[in-house]
């Protein structure tokens, strides 16, 4: 079976969904912490770093993020697109994607597999997932 690769729009929509999810988690955790008299500042800091720093790498290494699930895309190993990438590769991918921002997406139109700079460095590739939930949702897919 030949892999199909998501468009830049699909990838950006996935990121936006994940940002909304992360911000929602932050509000929930903040509301829970406000129920305590005076939680230590390190707890708030650890939750903030955990949510922003580990959400994507952890989710990608064990399956997919919420945004990737809803858009029907997955991060896979470039060498074997049937295999997920490990946590270390996922973390490197996330750090580069965060540091480079939009610059990382410049290479998407330059290669047939639509790999961004962070994909090239981490040995990953984004592919469409045929059994994903987005086939059942009314999320517009503009190519």
Output phi, psi for 124, to 5 deg.
Answer: -115, 170
Tell me, yes or no, whether 1 lies in a domain: no
Per-residue pLDDT of the chain (143 residues; tens, 9 = 90+): 567 899 999 999 999 999 999 999 999 998 999 898 888 889 888 999 999 999 999 999 999 999 999 999 999 999 998 899 999 999 999 999 999 988 988 889 888 899 999 999 999 999 998 654 444 444 455 54
In a domain, residue 141? The reply is no
pLDDT of residue 109: 85
Residue 124 lies in a domain: yes
Residue 3 lies in a domain: no
Distance CA 86, CA 38 (A): 38
By the 8 A CB rule, do 97 and 44 touch? no
* SS3 sequence of 61-95: HHCCCHHHHHHCEEEEECCCCCCCCCHHHHHHHHH
What is the total count of domains within the chain? 1
Domain of residue 125: give its range. 8-135
The answer to whether position 142 is within a domain reads no
Phi, psi of 75 (to 5 degrees): -95, 125
Tokens of 72: 């029907």
Residue 60 is predicted with a pLDDT of 96
pLDDT at residue 137 in the model: 47
pLDDT tens for residues 1-10?
567 899 999 9
Burial of residue 51 (CB within 10 Å: 0-12, 13-18, 19+) is: middle
């Amino acid at each position: 079976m030949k892999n199909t690769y998501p468009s830049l729009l699909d990838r950006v929509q996935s990121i936006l969904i994940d940002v909304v999810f992360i911000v929602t988690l932050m509000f929930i955790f903040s509301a829970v912490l406000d129920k305590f008299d005076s939680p230590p500042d390190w707890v708030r800091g650890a939750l903030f770093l955990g949510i922003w720093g580990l959400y994507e790498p952890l989710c990608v290494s064990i399956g997919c993020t919420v945004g990737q699930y809803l858009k029907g895309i997955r991060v896979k190993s470039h060498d074997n697109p049937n295999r997920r990438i490990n946590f270390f590769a996922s973390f490197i991918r996330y750090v580069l994607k965060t540091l480079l921002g939009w610059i990382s997406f410049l290479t998407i139109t330059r290669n047939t597999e639509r790999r961004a700079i962070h994909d090239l460095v981490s040995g990953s590739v984004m592919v469409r997932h045929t059994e994903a939930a987005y086939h059942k949702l009314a999320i517009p897919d503009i190519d």
